[in-house]
């Protein structure tokens, strides 16, 4: 009888002490850095309809980057997000008629722990509904690492037609 009681205790002891601690677990969020030469857009910048601009930001992670997404949407109602840097000088509140919307995800090459974007994004001059609404917009970047940790960054921008 005593042998039967001792055996489970020995097995539990062996299992507990034979497990190795995994120190390679990625528990850190990736970083979006706009403090680099030529970063664009930064807070309060203007993007022009009918033109192409280059998204330039530096991304980093302690292990490996995964992907990033860009979301551009109107801020005509002056809403806010918890991940915004600051608000810029806002135009008066208005009702959207033909607002610009852009949502796109991009892959980062495998194995990178640092990556500087050099992504050209074409902004149309109009849609089939006509000219797009000028004004206040949010430019949202969401960076995700291979493990699934993500970091958002929200910028307040203007989207205008060049005169």
Question: Given this model, what pLDDT does residue 78 score?
Answer: 86
Given pLDDT bands bounded at 50, 70 and 90, which one contains residue 15? Answer: low
CA angle, 108 then 112 then 115, to 5°: 65
Compare 84 and 43 and report the one with higher pLDDT: 43
Question: Given this model, what pLDDT does residue 88 score?
Answer: 83
Residue 55 has pLDDT above 90, yes or no: yes
Given a contact cutoff of 8 angstroms between Cβ atoms, the answer to whether 60 and 31 are in contact is yes
Average pLDDT, the chain: 88
User: Mind listing the pLDDT tens digit for each residue in 136-153?
Assistant: 999 999 999 999 999 999
CATH code: domain 26-160 is 2.60.40.2550
Alpha helices in the chain (DSSP H): 2-18
User: Mind listing the pLDDT tens digit for each residue in 86-120?
Assistant: 678 889 999 999 999 999 999 999 999 999 999 99
Residue 21 has pLDDT above 60, yes or no: no
Please report, for the chain, the start and end positions of each structural domain, with discontinuous segments joined by +.
26-160
Given pLDDT bands bounded at 50, 70 and 90, which one contains residue 81? Answer: confident
pTM: 0.82
Pairing of strands 119-122, 46-48: unpaired
């Amino acid at each position: 009888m005593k042998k039967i009681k001792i055996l489970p205790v020995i097995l539990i002891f062996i299992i507990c002490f034979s497990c190795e601690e995994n120190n390679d677990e990625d528990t850190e969020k990736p970083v979006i850095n706009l403090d680099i030469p030529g970063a664009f857009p930064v807070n309060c910048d203007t993007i022009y309809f009918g033109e192409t601009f280059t998204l330039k930001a530096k991304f980093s992670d302690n292990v490996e980057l995964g992907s990033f997404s860009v979301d551009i949407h109107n801020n005509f109602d002056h809403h806010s997000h918890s991940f915004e840097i600051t608000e810029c000088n806002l135009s008066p509140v208005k009702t959207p008629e033909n607002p610009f919307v852009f949502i796109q995800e991009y892959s980062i090459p495998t194995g990178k722990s640092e990556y500087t974007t050099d992504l050209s994004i074409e902004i149309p001059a109009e849609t089939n509904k006509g000219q797009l609404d000028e004004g206040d917009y949010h430019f949202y970047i969401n960076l995700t690492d291979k493990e699934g940790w993500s970091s958002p960054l929200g910028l307040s921008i203007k989207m205008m037609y060049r005169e």
